[in-house]
Structure 1
Amino acid sequence: MKLCVLGLGYIGLPTAVMFAKHGLQVHGVDVSEIVVKKLQNKELHIEEPGLYEMFAEVTDSGAFTVSQEPVHADAYIIAVPTPINKNKTSNLDYVRSATEMIVPYVQEGNLVVLESTSPPKTVENIMLPVLEKTGLKFGEELFVSHSPERVLPGKLFEELVSNDRIVGGINEESSNRTVELYRTFVKGEIHVTDATTAEMVKLMENTYRDVNIAFANELARIAEEVGFNVWEAIKLANCHPRVNIHMPGPGVGGHCIAVDPWFIVEAAPEQAKLTTLSRKINDETPHNIVNIVKNIVGEIAKPKVSVFGLSFKGNIDDMRESPSLEIIEDLVNIGYDVSIYDPHILSSYPNKVDTLEEAVDNSDCVVILTDHNEYKEIDYTQIKEKMSTPNIIDTRNILNKEVLQEAGFDVFLVGDKSIRNSLLAK
C-alpha cells in the first residue's frame, strides 16, 4: 500500500514516519522548500524524542520519500495547520489548498483522511466540494474520513500507538477503510462515528482542558487577591475522588488548546458562552503576568528582564501560540531590556541568547514561563551574583521558594500571597 501525507509538521512527519516504519511506502509532501530540503538531507526541523532514529531508518530503506508535490497513492492523509485569524475565526486555507493539490492524483478506490483539527463540517463543506472535481462518486469510488490526532508532544510515538483513535467517515465504507489503515500500528481502540462528530470530539477534548485551565487561572487571581497559595489549595481539592482541577500558569499555548475552542465559538457563538469566557480568561493571563513584572521592576531605572522559556510547554521546541511570545512582546513594548533563554529553541529569535550567563547578566528579574527540566536544575545561587536585583517570578511552580529566599532572592509565585504582598509593598 502506498500512502501520501500532506503536511510534515509536528503531527504529519511523525505520522508518516510511523506508517513507513510499519510497512507502507510513504511519500511526504510539504509546501516549504526549506523543510523538504532539510528532510532530503536527513535533517529534522522539529524536535521529538525518537523521531530522528526512526526517520533515518525509513529514509535509508527507501520506505519514506519527500517532495513538494503529491504522487499517486492508495491513501492520502492531510495533516496541515488550521490556524485562527486575528478575529478568532478559522483559517482553512491550508486544508483547502492541500485538498486541491491531490485532486489531479486521486484515483478510483482511493481514501482521503483529514487529520488536521478542524471546525465541524470542514470535511463536508470544505473538502468534499473540492474533491467533487475528481468526478468520483463519494462512498463508492472515493472514500473520505476525518481522524483527528490526539497525541502529546514529547510522547508522540507512544501515544500514536496506544491512544484510542476516533474515525469519522462520510459513510460506513469510508470509516471501515480508515480503520484498516490506522490498524497498521494503532493498538488502542478505534471508535467509529460520522465525520462531523469526529471533528467535534477533538474540539470538545481540548475545550474541556481550556475551560479547566481558565478555572485554575481564575483561582490563581483570587489567591493573589485574597492571600493564599493556589497550588496547595488545588492539590488538596484534587484529593477529592471526583475533582481534577488543572494547574494555572502564564496562559495557554500550543496549536490545540489555545485555538480549538474558537472553532466551537465560530460554529455556535450564542450557545458557546462558557467556552468564550474561558478563552478570554486564558487570553488575558499573559497580560496579568506582565502586570506582575511591572509591579516588581517598575521603579527600577531601565530594568532588564530575563525570560526563561519560549516553548508553550516543558521540554519541547514548539512555540505555536505560546503565551511567552505575547508576554515578551508586551515587555519589549513597555521599554524593558529583555533577554530570552530557552535551550530547546535552536532557531534564532529576537532577544534570544545562547547561554544562561548572558540571559541573567545585570538582570533585575528572572521570569520563568516554561517548565523545562533545565530550569529546575539551575544553581540559582550562582546566577544571583550576576544579577543586579535578585527577583524571580515563577509562573509554573517549579522552584523551591524557601531555598531561593534563603539564598537572598525575592521570589514571587503566581497564584500565591507573595504576589499580593508585592503589590501591597508598592
Structure 2
Amino acid sequence: MQFETICVVGLGYIGLPTAAAFAGRRKNVIGVDINQHAVDTINRGEIHIVEPELDIAVHAAVKEGNLRATTRPEPADAFLVAVPTPFKKGEEAGAIPTPDLSYIQAAADSIAPVLKKGDLVILESTSPVGATEKMAGWLAQARTDLSFPQQAGEDSDIRIAHCPERVLPGHVMHELIENDRIIGGMTNKCSEAACELYKTFVRGECLLTTARTAEMAKLTENAFRDVNIAFANELSMICDKVDINVWELIKLANRHPRVNILQPGPGVGGHCIAVDPWFIVSETPKEARLISTAREVNDSKPEWVINKVKMALSDYLRDSPGKNASDVTIACYGITFKPDIDDLRESPALKIVCDICDLKLVKCVVVDPNIKGLPQNLLKDAAFMKTTSAVKADIHILLVNHKCFRSKQFLDGVRGRMYDFTGGL
C-alpha cells in the first residue's frame, strides 16, 4: 500500500512527535487538533509542549512543507487517532473509575466524512479492551457506504488497527523510532497494512497480533509498573513507621542479584500508569485484586505526603517561638508528574500543592522550571517563583526531581528545612 498522506488526529505529547516522525520521512502529514493555539503554534514551526528534540523536528517539517496543522481532518491514506482517554471517577465512595471514550468517538465522527475505500485507521490512544472495535462501529454507523472489518473481514474497504504508544516522556523522539511496536489489526490484512505504515520510520520490530491483545498489552505494561511502584511506595510508608531510611534499605536490598526495587515517590502520575490499570479493573473487578490494590496504594501516597508536611510545619513552629503558621512560607519544588517535562496530567505533586494551599495555613510558593505559569486552580492561593527567590522560604518540599534541583548550587542556596520525597538528594 502507498501511504503518501497521513492525517494525525490529536497533536499532544504523542500525536505531534508521531506526526513529526512521519513528516521527517517526507510524507505529507496533516495534523489535526481542536486547540487553535496548538494549531497556530505548529504552523509557525514551533511547539506548544516540552519534549527534547521535538522542536527541531517540527520546525524542519513545517519549513520543508511536509507538516501542517488544522482543526478539521482532511482526506488522507492513513488516519492515526492519538487523543486523550481519561477515566470517569464514580460518584459513590469506593466506585471504580471507568474509561471515558468520548474523545475517541469525537475523533471517529470527525474523520468519517473524509474516509474513502482503501484507507487505514489506527487507534494509538491507550484504550480499554474493545475500544478499537467500538471505534470501528462508530465509523460504520457514519459511513454505511463503506465496509469495515467487523462486517466484511479481510475484504473490508477500510482497514482498522490498534497500535499503542510505548514511549517515555523526555525521550519520545528516540523511542518512537527505536522501540518495538505492537500492532493489533482487526484482521490480518489490517495488521499488515499498519505494519507497513509504521515501518516508514520505526527501526524496532513490528509485532503483529489482534486488536484486543494489543490493547491489553499496553495496559499490562503499565499495570506491571504500577504494581512495582506501589511496592516501593508502601515500603516507604512502612519504613517511616519503624524509623528506617527507605533509600538506604532499597539500595542494600537491590544488591541481591534477583531484586530490583523501584524508587518511591509522592505518588504516581501521568496519563498512562495512573490511568491504564483502572481500565483493567473496570472490566474485571473481581479478578484484578492486586492491580486494584496497587492503584489504591499509589493514589493514597499524596495524602501521606500532606500529613508529613503538616508534621514538618508543626516541628518548625515548635522550634520557632513567637511564629504563627501564617508567618511560614513553604516552597514546593516541581508540580509535573515526572522530572524534566511540562506534563501536569494526574500529577501527584500538583495535587499535593493544591492540598497544601487548601489548608489556608501558610504561604505557599511553587518552583517548576518546565512550566510557564501556575494552573488556574492555583493562581489565587500560591505564588510562582524562580528558584533564587524560593530558597529563602522556611520549609522546602521537593516533590519532583528536576535536574536543576539536583545541582550543588541549588542545594547550597536553600536556607530552611528541606524535605525530600523523591530520593534525589
CA distance in 1, matches of 2:58, 2:412: 41
Q: State the shift of 1:38 in Å.
A: 1.6
Unaligned runs of 5+ in 2: 91-96, 150-155, 318-323
Say yes or no: does 1:355 pair with 2:381: no
Say yes or no: does 1:163 pair with 2:179: yes
Say yes or no: does 1:9 pair with 2:40: no
Query: Aligned match of 1:148 in 153, 164, 167?
Result: 164
Residue 399 of structure 2 corresponds to 369
CA distance in 1, matches of 2:251, 2:75: 54
Q: State the shift of 1:352 in Å.
A: 4.4
| Contact 2:45/2:63, CA 8 A, preserved across alignment | no
| Contact 1:353/1:359, CA 8 A, preserved across alignment | no
Q: Secondary structure at the match of 1:290?
A: helix
Residue 138 of structure 1 corresponds to 148
Cα RMSD (Å)? 1.3
Say yes or no: does 1:101 pair with 2:102: no
| Contact 1:95/1:127, CA 8 A, preserved across alignment | no
- Post-superposition CA distance 1:149-182 (Å, at most 9, x none): 0000111111111111000000000000000000
- The TM-score with structure 1 as length reference comes to 0.90
Say yes or no: does 1:38 pair with 2:41: yes
Residue 295 of structure 1 corresponds to 311
CA distance in 1, matches of 2:193, 2:358: 53
Residue 397 of structure 1 corresponds to 423
Residue 330 of structure 1 corresponds to 355
Query: Aligned match of 1:340 in 366, 374, 385?
Result: 366
Q: Secondary structure at the match of 2:87?
A: coil
Aligned pair count reads 393
Say yes or no: does 1:231 pair with 2:241: no
Q: State the shift of 1:357 in Å.
A: 3.0
CA distance in 1, matches of 2:330, 2:89: 28
1:181-196 paired onto structure 2 within 5 Å = 181-196=197-212
Unaligned runs of 5+ in 1: 385-389, 400-426
Residue 120 of structure 2 corresponds to 111
Residue 321 of structure 2 corresponds to none
Q: State the shift of 1:113 in Å.
A: 0.1
Letter of the 1:95 partner, please give it: I
| Contact 1:287/1:327, CA 8 A, preserved across alignment | yes
CA distance in 1, matches of 2:216, 2:51: 27
CA distance in 2, matches of 1:381, 1:58: 43
| Contact 1:147/1:198, CA 8 A, preserved across alignment | yes
CA distance in 1, matches of 2:397, 2:136: 44
Residue 409 of structure 1 corresponds to none
Residue 152 of structure 2 corresponds to none
1:266-277 paired onto structure 2 within 5 Å = 266-277=282-293
CA distance in 1, matches of 2:374, 2:44: 21
Say yes or no: does 1:123 pair with 2:149: no
Q: State the shift of 1:76 in Å.
A: 0.1
1:207-286 paired onto structure 2 within 5 Å = 207-286=223-302
Letter of the 2:395 partner, please give it: C
Say yes or no: does 1:49 pair with 2:52: yes
1:307-322 paired onto structure 2 within 5 Å = 307-322=332-347
Report the CA distance shift for 1:11/1:274 in structure 2 as closer, same or farther (over 3 A): same
1:67-78 paired onto structure 2 within 5 Å = 67-78=70-81
Q: Which moved more, 1:227-236 or 1:18-27?
A: 227-236
CA distance in 2, matches of 1:271, 1:280: 16
